[in-house]
């Protein structure tokens, strides 16, 4: 246990990086997700196709494969980013597909009659969306979005290892191999991830219950 | 519904605007693709000699056997996860408190941590405790540790989703607890759980690629090795990515066909990666 | 109608089962020559161990030299070396991604390089031929854990002998002495030695001495980019994400040779890196045995042969082998 006490700073720093990485990636994912979801419900067939292709590609590629493709590929088209930024982009684009799909499912839970009624009283397209459909859809999306955020925290470990970002997982890997106490170090990491995710799970469940409505 | 369902059908002006928007989008997409391809070509990434290594049959066999190892770890991990998951689900539903607590604690903890951490623990930590699994079983252990917890939640949700009348009826005709589980509850619950299980099995197969991080020579690791040997990492990786994409796309498609025939599929307990492709099926019905 | 989805699921399960079977068959024919040797090893070893004290020189290649010197390393019964022989195989941790020293060839499935040749030499001394060796991948950061946990009997992977590592593992050798140098783009003249790395982005590998050396000698260098493989560092250099990659000159040489003139070595080595063979701490018998094997290979020319076959391909002349250090 001394190993953990001795390296407590490293753990805390790692937790901070993991949190920061997850939060920024989530914001990016939400932006991408909104665009993708809009594409997928748009009246333009081409946009719908683009949206589906985006989602299908990311549902079909393992995260680590995507991370490595990004690592090797993007510099070849002239774009280079520092490791942390790369990890945010990799996680954000990957998770964006999940968010997009969650938003679309959420919109689908709103009965079509709601939209039609809104149209009937003379609301315009964007008013229908922002005043009637989305407020109802958002409530049903709390659960899925929370679950996506938690998956993102877990996935951040993969991106960080692939990109050499000094998050919780990366630092533990270094400590595990350099201190000759892998059991203690990795058990500490396990607990650290629980501290990060378990309260989050409870919060998400509570929120989802609070805002759930039955039709 | 698509939003189109509460849009009025476009008039002549609307249709023209839509056509313009389509053309503009197409131009943007094509332009981005052209720029990317041209940059790749400028950097010599599309040169024939970058791909030379794939002219050899032995390299394709190297990949295929790597992919066979991906499937192998995925299949063994899948079977073990389902088995352990079923046990854990019964544990969590059990009447005895200690059993219930242990199962609950396991499920909640192992669902919440990165799978890659579990693999690292199996690969680097367990040998210190006198259990040297080697790369293959480390991958399987990691996959099982995480996915058994996920499957346990799927099973539990499936069992709980069954109307209480079913178990009550089983009780009424004098079936014991295990008999009612075996003959009444599980067979019915399974049907509702199939899509969720299929989705999660696909996620599990994707996660097998994490084995590359603990020197398990599956498809991804073999692509890295080929890239290092042939000095064309991007090309070697792109081939592997294509492998993954085609196979997993096909499996996702198959899983969605499963889903279409379920009136009320069970989805509780599924992590986001599996939850959403499954949900997508319903929407695209 | 109700039946359909079930049959789809069973189809999925059949596919899975078939995949498992295919994978099982696949991995049989798939194994490298070394792997096959490892599986067939039990059989072969019973034959070898029938003579209690098998001379290492029973292999056809080295028999000539053995006649000459007459004191080639022998396997004493009851020693840790005999234990490896009785086990029927020797497991050696090597690298898969270091040109000239340990590089896995996807067209054959074999691992090639100077480290591999040394490993085969030692195997031959124990078993009489080199088919009982199993090579496993050991990336830099995993080497000490692998040895300590007994996952491998030996580590031969451009493994520098130093005091910190001697705390946890023991070393036979050295069998080669490299020096740490710097790899830069061919048109970069701003870096002429380690001091010039201050303020530059430098890539190195997790768990390697190269990293600590740079931190000591060029404290202002930005070493935040760290991977577990050299090839990733070289990729980062090619892309301009870092300005230099630093590690042992002989490893860098392999990358220069493959870069079509895009990269060059600064050629101003700032450390000495004696490559040793890592083994479990305190196993003096194994260490002495490996040292004997090395010394014999120096004398009978097989060390030079192995060097010329591998590192020599890059145009490097075989140096005089370094004296082994029986500390």
Q: How far is C54 from chain A (nearest CA, A)?
A: 37
| CA gap C312, A130 in Å, rounded | 71
Beta strand C97-98 with C102-104 is: antiparallel
Please answer yes or no on whether B6 and A116 come within 8 Å at the CB atom: yes
In chain B, whose CA is at the least distance from the CA of A70? B234
Say what the pLDDT of residue A160 is: 93
Confidence band for A215, pLDDT divided at 50, 70 and 90: low
Average pLDDT over residues C299-303: 93
* CB nearest to B72's CB, from C20, C105, C109: C20
For B22, the enclosing helix (H) or strand (E) is helix B12-42
Tens-digit pLDDT profile for residues A21-59: 999 999 999 999 989 988 888 888 888 899 999 999 999
Collect all residues of chain B within an 8 Å Cβ-Cβ radius of residue C107: 53, 56, 58-59, 62
Instruction: Specify the range with the lowest mean pLDDT, choosing from B119-133, B135-149, C38-52, C111-125.
Output: C38-52
pLDDT-derived band of residue B3, with 50, 70 and 90 as boundaries?
low
Whether residue A75 is preceded by a cis peptide bond, meaning omega within 30 degrees of 0, is no
Name A165's Cβ contacts closer than 8 Å, sequence gap at least 6.
A17, A21, A83, A84, A87, A159
pLDDT of residue B283: 44
Nearest alpha carbon to residue C252 among C312, C194, C304, C178:
C178
Rounded-to-integer distance, Cα B56 and Cα C183, Å:
31
For residue C91, the SS3 value is: strand
The pLDDT, as a whole number, for residue B261 is 65
**Average confidence (pLDDT) over C36-51:** 36
Average pLDDT over chain C reads 79
Supply the DSSP string of C6-27, one letter for each residue: HHHHHHHHHHHHHHHHHHHHHH
Backbone angles phi, psi at A64, to 5 degrees: -65, -35
Q: What is the pLDDT of residue B7?
A: 64
Angle (nearest 5°) at CA C185 between C181 and C191? 55
Contact yes or no for B223/B240 (Cβ under 8 A) = yes
Question: If pLDDT is split at 50, 70 and 90, which confidence band does B180 have?
Answer: confident
Segment among A132-136, B261-265, C245-249 with least mean pLDDT: B261-265
3-class secondary-structure state, position C264: strand
Contacts of A29 (CB under 8 A, 6+ apart): A91, A92, A93, A94, A95, A96, A98, A99, A148, A152
Q: Percent of chain B having pLDDT more than 90? A: 45
Q: C96 pLDDT exceeds 80?
A: yes
Q: What is the pLDDT of residue B95?
A: 82
Chain C residues touching A71 at Cβ < 8 A: 232, 235
B108 vs A47: CB contact, 8 Å cut-off?
A: no
Query: What six digits make up the tokens of B105?
Result: 């604690």
User: What's the Rg (C-alpha) of chain A?
Assistant: 20
Please compute Rg for chain C using Cα positions.
Answer: 23
Q: Are C128 and C58 in contact (CB under 8 A)?
A: yes
Count Cβ atoms within 10 A of the Cβ of residue C107 and give its class: 0-12 exposed, 13-18 middle, 19 or more buried: middle
ipTM: 0.91
pLDDT, tens digit, for every residue of C179-235?
999 999 999 889 988 999 999 999 988 777 888 888 889 999 988 777 877 888 888
pLDDT confidence of residue C69 = 41
Q: What is the pLDDT of residues C7-27, one digit of tens each?
A: 555 555 555 555 555 544 444
Residue C228: the pLDDT is 75
pLDDT of residue A23: 95
**Of B254, B227, B255, the residue nearest B240 (C-alpha):** B227
Burial class (CB in 10 A: 0-12, 13-18, 19+), B12: exposed
What does the block give as tokens for C324? 């082994």
Average pLDDT, chain B: 86
B35 reaches A (C-beta below 8 A) = yes
* String of DSSP letters for C124-177: HHHHSSGGGEEEEE--GGGHHHHHHTTS-SEEEEEEE--HHHHTTEEEEEEEEE
Q: Record the tokens describing residue C262, joined without a space.
A: 């895009």
Q: Which of residues 44-73 of A touch C (CB under 8 A)?
A: 71-72
Interval C133-156 mean pLDDT: 91
The pLDDT value recorded for residue A207 is 86
Structure confidence at residue C13 (pLDDT): 54
Instruction: Provide the number of CB pairs (under 8 Å) joining chain A to chain B.
Output: 205
Task: Tell whether C11 is within 8 A of chain A (Cβ).
Answer: no
What global pTM score does this model have? 0.84
């Amino acid at each position: 246990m001394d190993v953990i006490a001795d390296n407590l700073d490293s753990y805390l720093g790692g937790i901070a990086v993991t949190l920061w990485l997850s939060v920024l990636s989530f914001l990016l994912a939400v932006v991408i997700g909104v665009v993708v979801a809009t594409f997928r419900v748009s009246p333009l067939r081409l946009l719908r196709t683009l949206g589906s292709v985006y989602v299908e590609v990311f549902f079909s590629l393992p995260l680590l494969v995507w991370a490595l493709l990004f690592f090797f590929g993007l510099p070849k088209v002239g774009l280079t980013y520092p490791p942390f930024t790369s990890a945010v982009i990799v996680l954000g684009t990957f998770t964006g597909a999940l968010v997009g799909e969650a938003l679309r499912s959420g919109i689908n839970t709103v009965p079509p009659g709601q939209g039609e009624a809104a149209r009937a009283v003379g609301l315009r397209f964007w008013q229908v969306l922002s005043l009637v459909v989305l407020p109802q859809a958002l409530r049903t999306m709390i659960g899925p979005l929370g679950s996506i955020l938690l998956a993102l925290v877990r996935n951040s470990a993969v991106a960080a290892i692939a990109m050499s970002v000094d998050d919780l997982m990366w630092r533990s890997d270094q400590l595990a191999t350099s201190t000759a106490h892998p059991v203690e170090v990795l058990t500490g990491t396990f607990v650290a991830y629980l501290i990060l995710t378990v309260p989050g799970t409870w919060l998400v469940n509570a929120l989802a219950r609070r805002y759930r409505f039955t039709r | 519904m698509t939003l189109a369902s509460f849009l009025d059908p476009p008039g002549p002006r609307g249709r023209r605007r839509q056509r313009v928007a389509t053309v503009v989008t197409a131009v943007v997409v094509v332009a981005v693709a052209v720029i990317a391809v041209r940059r790749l070509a400028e950097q010599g990434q599309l040169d024939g000699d970058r791909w030379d290594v794939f002219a050899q049959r032995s390299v394709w066999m190297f990949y295929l056997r790597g992919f066979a190892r991906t499937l192998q770890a995925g299949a063994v991990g899948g079977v073990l996860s389902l088995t352990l998951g079923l046990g854990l689900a019964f544990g969590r539903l059990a009447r005895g408190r200690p059993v219930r607590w242990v199962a609950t604690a396991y499920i909640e903890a192992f669902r919440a941590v990165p799978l890659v951490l579990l693999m690292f623990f199996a690969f680097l930590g367990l040998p210190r405790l006198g259990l040297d699994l080697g790369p293959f079983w480390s991958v399987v252990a990691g996959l099982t540790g995480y996915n058994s917890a996920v499957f346990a939640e799927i099973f539990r949700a499936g069992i709980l989703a069954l109307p209480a009348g079913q178990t009550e009826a089983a009780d009424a005709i004098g079936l014991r607890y295990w008999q009612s589980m075996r003959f009444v509850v599980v067979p019915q619950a399974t049907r509702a759980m199939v899509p969720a299980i299929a989705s999660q099995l696909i996620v599990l197969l994707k996660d097998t690629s994490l084995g590359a991080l603990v020197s398990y020579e599956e498809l991804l690791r073999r692509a890295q090795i080929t890239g290092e040997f042939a000095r064309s990492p991007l090309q070697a990786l792109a081939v592997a990515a294509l492998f993954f994409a085609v196979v997993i796309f096909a499996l996702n498609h198959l899983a969605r066909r499963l889903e279409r025939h379920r009136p009320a599929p069970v989805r509780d307990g599924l992590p986001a990666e599996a939850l959403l492709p499954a949900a997508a099926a319903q929407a695209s019905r | 109608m109700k039946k359909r989805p079930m049959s789809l699921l069973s189809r999925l399960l059949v596919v899975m089962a078939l995949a498992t079977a295919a994978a099982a068959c696949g991995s049989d024919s798939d194994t490298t020559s070394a792997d096959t040797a490892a599986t067939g090893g039990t059989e072969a070893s019973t034959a070898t161990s029938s003579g209690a004290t098998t001379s290492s020189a029973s292999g056809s290649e080295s028999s000539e030299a053995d006649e000459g010197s007459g004191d080639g390393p022998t396997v004493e019964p009851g020693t840790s070396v005999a234990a490896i022989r009785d086990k029927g195989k020797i497991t050696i941790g090597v690298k898969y991604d270091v040109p000239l020293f340990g590089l896995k060839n996807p067209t054959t499935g074999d691992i090639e390089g100077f480290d591999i040749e040394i490993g085969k030499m030692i195997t031959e001394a124990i078993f009489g031929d080199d088919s009982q060796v199993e090579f496993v991948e050991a990336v830099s950061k995993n080497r000490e854990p692998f040895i300590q946990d007994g996952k491998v009997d030996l580590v031969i992977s451009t493994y520098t002998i130093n005091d910190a590592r001697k705390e946890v593992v023991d070393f036979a050798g050295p069998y080669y002495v490299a020096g740490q140098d710097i790899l830069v783009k061919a048109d970069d003249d701003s870096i002429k030695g380690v001091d010039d790395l201050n303020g530059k982005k430098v890539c190195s590998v997790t768990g390697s001495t190269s990293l600590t050396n740079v931190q000591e000698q060029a404290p202002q260098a930005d070493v935040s980019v760290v991977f577990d493989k050299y090839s990733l560092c070289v990729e980062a250099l090619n892309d301009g994400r870092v300005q230099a990659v630093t590690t042992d000159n002989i490893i860098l040489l392999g990358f220069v040779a493959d870069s079509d003139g895009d990269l060059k070595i600064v050629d101003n080595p700032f450390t000495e890196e004696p490559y040793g063979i890592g083994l479990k701490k305190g196993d003096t018998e194994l260490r002495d045995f490996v040292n004997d094997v090395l010394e014999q290979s120096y004398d009978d020319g097989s060390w030079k042969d192995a060097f010329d076959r591998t590192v020599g391909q890059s145009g490097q002349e075989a140096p005089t082998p370094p004296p082994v250090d029986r500390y």
